[in-house]
Amino acid sequence: MSTQAPIRRMTVPQIRAKKGADPIVSLTSYHAHTAAIVDKFADFILVGDSLGMVMHGMDSTIGVPLDLMIMHGRAVVRGTKRALIVVDMPFGTYEESPNMGFRNAAKIMKETACGAVKLEGGARMAETIRFLSERGIPVMAHIGLTPQSVNTMGGFKVQGRDEAAWKTHIDDARAVAEAGAFALVVEGVVEELADKITAAVDIPTIGIGASKNCDGQILVLEDMLGLNPRVPKFVKVYGDLGPAIERAVAEYTEEVKTRTFPGEDNVYR
């Protein structure tokens, strides 16, 4: 009989308790096999709507449907055992009203078995965050450069270049924290502003293009593995998998054309 303790998933209260203490590690993942690798290291895994661009070749995240998020969310949950799984709510599934947000968030959680959802927006989404949180749905908030607002922002633009706008971002952070968000993604803001946001709220901040002083960090997995030809400045490429995959495919192609693959070890007798 095994005496090994069962692996337990990271919980929302455990993530929140890391505020100002142990740095939070996070990456995105969209499928079971990469999620199983990330699961060994990450505190939480985000099934981000960035999958529309990374996996499906979309120009932005705007066109990602709810069912696609659910399908990828299921795969990531199946491939993991210990990390908290957070699934993005795509554009158009929560902005209309708190009731709409609850229906779609509940659908995501019931059909994927994830542990939380993430939605974009600051003070304007506080009512919805409170509505969901009070009804048993943990919410991770997201402020700063919010990709679902790319059309109103006029592109993927760094926020906080104008110090006069800092108060708005800090007020957004306080609003979502007070509404019940358990953590806050801070994306694409100048470093000094990210530091002020982190100091202003009692929930963990998760930086992406923000500051090393955030309570945690997140990157898109494919970006940091060198699988995307163009990445933002804030990405550090930790692997060079793109060229490695190309070399492997080229070698396979050559062996097929010269009939050296399959070899003796690859056929049945």
> 229-265 pLDDT, tens per residue?
888 899 999 999 999 999 999 999 999 999 999 999 9
163 is in an annotated binding site: no
233 belongs to an annotated ligand binding site = no
Tens digits of residue pLDDT in 67-97: 999 999 999 999 999 999 999 999 999 999 9
Predicted confidence (pLDDT) per residue in 130-162, tens digit = 999 999 999 999 999 998 888 777 777 888 899
| Burial of 37 from C-beta contacts in 10 A (0-12 / 13-18 / 19+) | middle
The average pLDDT across 225-229 equals: 90
All domains of the chain in start order, with CATH: 12-238 (3.20.20.60), 240-268 (no CATH)
* Tens digits of residue pLDDT in 48-61: 999 999 999 999 99
Task: Give the lowest-confidence range in 113-122, 146-155, 211-220, 248-257.
Answer: 146-155
Q: Mean pLDDT, the chain, as a whole number? A: 95
Summarize the confidence of residues 61-67 as an average pLDDT: 97
Q: What pLDDT is stored for residue 156 in this prediction?
A: 76
Q: Is residue 88 annotated as involved in ligand binding? A: yes
Q: Check 134, 187, 191, 222 and give the catalytic one.
A: 187
pLDDT band at 228 (very low <50, low <70, confident <90, very high): confident
Q: What is the pLDDT of residues 2-57, one digit of tens each?
A: 567 778 999 999 999 999 999 999 999 999 999 999 999 999 999 999 999 999 99
Percent of the chain whose predicted confidence (pLDDT) is above 70:
98
162: annotated binding-site residue?
no
Is 134 an annotated catalytic residue?
no
